[in-house]
Amino acid sequence: MKRLFRKLNSVFGVARLSATLLLFVLLAVRVLDPLVVELVRLKTFDFYQVLKPRDYQDVPVTIVDIDEKSLAELGQWPWARSTLASILQNIAQAGGIAVAFDIVFPEADRLSPDQYSKSISGLSENVSKELAALPSTDKIMSDTMRRMRVVVGQAGGVDFVETDRPEQSQTPVALLGPDPTAYMFEYPKLLRNIQVLEDAAAGKGLFSIYPDPDGIVRRAALTAVADGKIQPALSVELLRVATGQNAFAVKSDEAGISGLVVGGVEVPTDRNGRIWVHYTPSMGERYVSASDIATGNFDLAQIQNHLILIGPSATGLLDLKATPLDPTMPGVEVHAQILENILSQSFLTRPNYALGAELVATTVLSLLTILLVPILGALPVMAFGFILAASWVAGSWYLFSSEKLLLDAGYPLFASLCVFLLLVFINYRREEIQRQEIRSAFGQYLAPDYVEQIARDPESLTLGGERRRMTMLFSDVRNFTKISESFADNPQGLTTLMNRFLTPLSNGIMEKRGTIDKYMGDAIMAFWNAPLDDDEQEIHACEAALLMVKRMRAINVERKQESDAGGGAFFPLNVGVGINTGDVVVGNMGSEFRFDYSVLGDSVNLAARLEGQTKTYGVTILIGDRTAQRTMGLFAMVEADLIQVKGKKEPERIYCLLGDMDLALDKEFIRRKASFEEMLQSYRNQDWEAALSHCAEVQEDNDGELAQLAETFRLRIEAFRSLPPPADWDGVFVAETK
């Protein structure tokens, strides 16, 4: 074996042999297709759809939309079934071909007179009998459904409550090939409609959709197994009923499902019976408000000879799907676009040979790299590889844009790039040694991230800066001057104390990807999003601040124990933190002989002012408005005030950061926060009595930071009661101190 390895090494060289082995590994990974590889491929296909979505065609499909307008005019959902019956009747009179509900009606209408009488206690016997004698709204709706073609929606799931009901009849299905059920998505249970509606319906279809692993709906199953039976999707069943067909057909072979036949149209699918939905952007032309149908105020052309889908787009009804073109597309529109794909014969397909073609492309690109890099060098091979890669990408794009075929351009490029990087690795060894020397020289003086940047680009050690959106943090220890005085005869002890708290505070900043700008005695200045990008800079800054406070409290516990054991005086260390986000200038600043990597700008000054104002408000952490807007809902925070800090003309809305999500979800905190917000509103309305009452609610049996903040306002309100603010007062507090 060793002799064989030496012979291969002499022929190919270590670099080529290693690259070839890597190629085999990459090919195996592609065949196994782990989740990350699949998701990258799917994102590539998303990108194609974004670049060239399907052209919208005026096909006869209309959505009757349960939208915000309908809820405002017809009342909250669910509506009485008699209202839905009126909508169905108006659709039928307008010449709608068939209707499908992207809704399930699993319970009797609670607004039906017979049901309504049972839900109200205290009714006289006569009134109850009169209500019970009125026609059932479920019966009204079912009678309307019998006079037209209506498909009711059903939902597949795993945890629906079993009910003692007759077994549901199965939509007839023809199997053209081997049994396909092993390849279908399966729902153990089925959420059905009440029997009276189910009996009146011309068809029943599944509206449940499995999204891809990242939550995006790219593919939708046209058929699935639910409650042990093959069921059609809502769109398939609507098309079957509209065309008057008795059944739909499933085509399959040894590889799985290949397509469905419905309404005389063959629809290609993947092996699991899913269609790749070719989306257009959401179009208003597809929609008619349900309230307009109910009142008869609609364009007849939008209903006549159309397939109608009834479903919700209103945000509160929670039927929104993420798609490649729209993160909040109503689920009913997904079904409508599937119908449009079928009717316009605009299908996206991923052919059976796609995997083979991608493996061949991966092998060719990688082998050319392996053969040519040692001969031509990195740059010529990179240029040649770029041409090959561009050709492959162009071919993939052409197949999508012209033939509607999905062929992955990403993985062959990724694999060949991995091979290329492995081959040229040795050429960077000398630069790696240089980087290590730079790290050793500067690592004790600069932030680790900045040292890495210098190591990659030594020429960056020049004066200059760039404008960036960044988040700044200032922290300062309260009453440290008084604490320092107690160490007048022990300067070494003071140094030890400073190191004791500055080290964990600094570590907390760097653990959350922050860069420490400088130390100013006991104070720390830090920032995020430089020198390295940080898309979550505001979150990381807030997390760092909370971590700093937590560690300072731990240090106080340790020092108190030491003080009790040694008999010395104990002075607690409390930190104040100010955080702000904004556009600043960051870079190397100073002289040609000495400079620092630092930030300048108005947003930096505001962060420093906020740290100073923590003493005024009696809290630990204050953050600016832009920081708060990016972190709202992730932490426990309250709006603290509108403040005009010293040196600024424009007021800033500031917030008090009190804790993490656990505190934000605490019921007691939620109650006190609501009281504080009501206090703040009363304060700005100059309703001093109401504001003081809410202050008392916040402070009741509580001495936490929110109570301290309320106490600040209580004192301010008492002052305003004695000396009211001017008539044009806008609620802004003008800070007189830094």
Q: Give yes or no: residues 225 and 98 share one domain.
A: yes
3-state SS string for 349-381: ECCCCHHHHHHHHHHHHHHHHHHHHHHHCHHHH
| pLDDT reported for residue 119 | 61
The model's pLDDT over 624-634, given as tens digits with 9 standing for 90+, comes to 999 999 999 99
pLDDT, greater one: 316 or 695: 695
Residue 289's region, left for phi above 0, alpha for psi from -120 to 50, else beta, is beta
Residue 277 and residue 260 share a domain: yes
Query: E strands within 237-326?
Result: 248-253, 256-262, 265-268, 274-276, 287-289, 307-312, 320-321
Interhelix angle for 14-32 vs 2-12, to 10°?
A: 100
Going by DSSP bridges, is the β-strand pair 256-262/265-268 parallel, antiparallel, or unpaired?
antiparallel
Residue 112, CA distances (Å) to 115, 133, 195, 396 in order = 5, 11, 16, 57
Judge whether 124 lies within some domain.
no
Model confidence band, residue 460 (pLDDT cutoffs 50, 70, 90): low
For residues 327 and 408, membership in a common domain is answered with no
- Which residue intervals of 593-700 are DSSP H helices? 602-617, 625-631, 661-664, 667-684, 688-699
- 307/364 same-domain check: no
Q: How many Cβ atoms from other residues are within 10 Å of residue 114's Cβ?
A: 18
457 confidence band (pLDDT: 50, 70, 90): low
Q: In sequence order, which residues have a C-beta less than 8 Å from that of residue 242 and are 6 or more positions away?
A: 97, 98, 149, 263, 307
Find out whether 80 and 109 touch, Cβ atoms under 8 Å. Answer: yes
551 domain residue, yes or no: yes
Query: Do 608 and 703 fall within a single domain?
Result: yes
Q: In this structure, is residue 153 part of a structural domain?
A: yes
Contact 279, 337 (CB under 8 A): yes
Residue 392 belongs to domain spanning: 2-53+353-427
Q: 106 is written with which tokens?
A: 């699993």
Contact 398/391 with Cβ under 8 angstroms? no
Take residue 310 and report the two structure tokens written for it: 């009834």
Residue 130 lies in a domain: no
Q: Is 296 left (phi over 0), alpha (psi -120 to 50) or beta?
A: left
Is residue 378 within 8 A of residue 427, CB to CB? The reply is yes
Same domain, 191 and 229: yes
> Tokens for 289?
């408000």
Same domain, 340 and 366: no
Plot region of 528 (φ>0 → left; ψ -120 to 50 → alpha; else → beta): beta
Distance CA 203, CA 124 (A): 41
For residues 365 and 288, membership in a common domain is answered with: no
Q: Which two tokens stand for residue 456?
A: 């990659």
| b/e sequence 381-410, b meaning 16+ C-beta within 10 Å | bbeebeebbeebeeebbebbeeeebbbbbb
Same domain? 326 vs 371: no
Give pLDDT, residue 595. Answer: 64
Same domain as 191, residue 155: yes
236 pLDDT above the threshold of 60: yes
What CA–CA distance (Å, rounded) separates 456 from 565?
51
CB 509 within 8 A of CB 524: yes
CATH number at residue 699: 3.30.70.1230
pTM of the model: 0.56
Cα 387 to Cα 391: distance, rounded to the nearest angstrom = 6
CA 471 to chain centre: 22
* Residue 443 covered by a domain: no
pLDDT at residue 3 is higher than 60: no
Q: How sure is the predictor about 241, in pLDDT bands with cuts at 50, 70 and 90?
A: very high
Do 406 and 491 lie in one domain? The reply is no
Query: What's the pLDDT at 325?
Result: 92
pLDDT-derived band of residue 5, with 50, 70 and 90 as boundaries?
Answer: very low
Structural domain count, the chain = 3
Q: Mean pLDDT highest for which of 52-56, 186-190, 500-504, 577-581?
A: 577-581
Q: Which residues of 148-175 are buried (b: 16+ CB within 10 A; e: fewer)?
A: bbbbbbbbbeeebeeeeeeebeebebee
Q: How many helices (H) and strands (E) does the chain have?
A: 26, 27
Distance CA 346, CA 325 (A): 17
Share of the chain above pLDDT 70, in %: 87
- Domain membership of residue 722 (yes or no) is yes
Give the pLDDT score at 388: 79
Q: Are residues 572 and 621 in the same domain?
A: yes
End-to-end CA distance of the chain: 75
pLDDT on residue 8:
42
Give the pLDDT band of residue 499 (cuts 50, 70, 90).
confident
- Taking the C-alpha atoms of residue 671 and residue 525, their distance in angstroms, rounded to an integer, is 35
Query: Cα dihedral angle (140, 144, 149, 151), rounded to 10 degrees?
Result: -20
pLDDT the model gives residue 74: 92
* Tokens at 373, concatenated: 């890099």
The separation between CA 339 and the C-alpha centre of its own chain, rounded to angstroms, equals: 28
The pLDDT-based confidence of 603 (bands split at 50, 70, 90) is very high
Residue that finishes a domain, picked among 286, 315, 344: 344
546 belongs to a structural domain: yes
pLDDT of 204 strictly over 70: yes
Is the residue at 435 inside a domain? no
Q: Residue 171: helix, strand or coil by DSSP?
A: coil
- For residue 334, the one-letter residue type is V
Backbone angles phi, psi at 38, to 5 degrees: -65, -45
